[in-house]
Amino acid sequence: MKRVLDTNVLIRFPEIVLDGDCIIPSTVFSELESIKSSGKKSEEVRYQARMATRILEENSDSYEIFVVDNSIYDIVSVDFKLPITPDNLIIGSAFKISRDIEEVTFITNDLLARQMGRVFGLIVEGYNSETNVEEYKGFKVEILSDNDMAKLYENTAENTYDCLINEYLVIEDFEGVQKDVLKWNGEHYVPIFNKSIKTMSFGDKIKAKDIYQQMAIDSLFSNTISALSGHAGSGKSLLSLVVAMNLIESGKYDRLVILFNPSKAKGAEDMGFYSGSALDKAMQNSIGQILTTKFGDRFAVDVMLQQGKIKLVSMADARGMEINDNEILYITECQNTSAELLKLCLTRVSHGAKVIIEGDYDTQVDSYAFEGNKNGMKRAIEILKGEDIFGFVELQNVWRSKIASLVDKM
């Protein structure tokens, strides 16, 4: 069944047109143009309208346009005795298509528009891209009997569970006990890295707290590019930095180049301009807090910056830079990137470099411009999954503290 799209859906989820079977009333285009130049709308909403317009222009063969003519005005004002508003014209268009051409579903996330659509007798649905795409976590969980486990270990060259390359297989018994973790490397199911990590930077040996961290460490060591996601306190940045410093201290790489987008937290007030050099400003930003917290104090971070083991670069300065063969690129808080911005950063990487990206695109996105399928990290995972150089793990548990674990439910 074809879908008639409301303006609010296209502003938040313009990628819906890529699914096909979409009809867009011409009033929607007029609304988008009005929003783009409106002084009453926030910059976030104006940006979203510009992005929606761009996607519509680039994919004009993916949808149909329904021209709103005088007959729609008559339906709204004469038949239903309603005022002429953009919303009512869009609903009236869906009504006429459904009555005269073919039955359609009216897609809107506006509660009042949903109610009005039902007044017109339409089939009405909301849209959220998160519920329309099967989520890839970087691993699968399979409950196996002893017999099934034996068959798996005897036939590791057979991809019985249809894993992508570098996707992990978590094996549980019928009581929910996790028995083992294997990785499909394209040819075999193989054991994964399960040792503690020792670095001078972090002192004591670091060992995975659960199987998800174990998979993350394996990916960080074994893949050219790794992505880690998970909620605050799940260990994304700590594991990334521990593995990176282990590789640098062992002589495999010389430097950790950290790219960051200096975005303020959603809902927080802007403190204005920071004083000092670019490095001083970076250390006053969230990346400075992350490094100081993980390495113990500001002095330890300053020493590594002076020694050239760590280099901080704002994404605003990414164009023209290059990540050399002897360097590790680390993009932290990667949920705060668009697909275009992350593409710019990743195209800076030379052949022999290693790449680590981490972030929480589910709960810590700080701009509407980075939400949904516009999110750079989410898009990169979608494009790279199954490639032999790429691994991804969505960490499942919060380990920072009981408080962090409890308020994660907020």
Tell me the CATH number for domain 196-407. 3.40.50.300
Q: How confident is the model at residue 200 (pLDDT cuts 50, 70, 90)?
A: confident
Angle at 21 between CA 19 and CA 26, to 5 degrees: 110
Q: What is the pLDDT of residues 240-287, one digit of tens each?
A: 999 999 999 999 999 999 998 876 555 444 545 555 666 666 666 667
> Which position has the token pair 């079977």?
21
Q: What is the pLDDT of residues 34-55, one digit of tens each?
A: 998 887 777 768 888 998 999 9
pTM for the complete prediction? 0.64
pLDDT more than 70, % of the chain = 87
Q: What is the pLDDT of residues 343-385, one digit of tens each?
A: 988 998 998 999 999 988 877 675 666 766 678 888 899 899 9
Query: Given this model, what pLDDT does residue 131 score?
Result: 45
When pLDDT is averaged across residues 201-230 and rounded to a whole number, the result is 91
Q: Domain spans of the chain?
A: 2-131, 135-191, 196-407
Q: What is the mean pLDDT of the chain?
A: 87
Alpha-carbon gap, residue 257 to 20, rounded angstroms? 41
Query: Given this model, what pLDDT does residue 106 score?
Result: 96
Q: How confident is the model at residue 299 (pLDDT cuts 50, 70, 90)?
A: confident
Question: Are 2-131 and 196-407 in the same CATH fold?
Answer: yes
Q: How confident is the model at residue 386 (pLDDT cuts 50, 70, 90)?
A: very high
The second-level CATH assignment, the architecture, of 2-131 is 3-Layer(aba) Sandwich (3.40)
Q: How confident is the model at residue 182 (pLDDT cuts 50, 70, 90)?
A: very high
Query: Given this model, what pLDDT does residue 212 score?
Result: 94
Q: Give how far Cα 1 sits from Cα of 20, 41, 64, 87, 127, Å.
A: 10, 34, 14, 22, 15
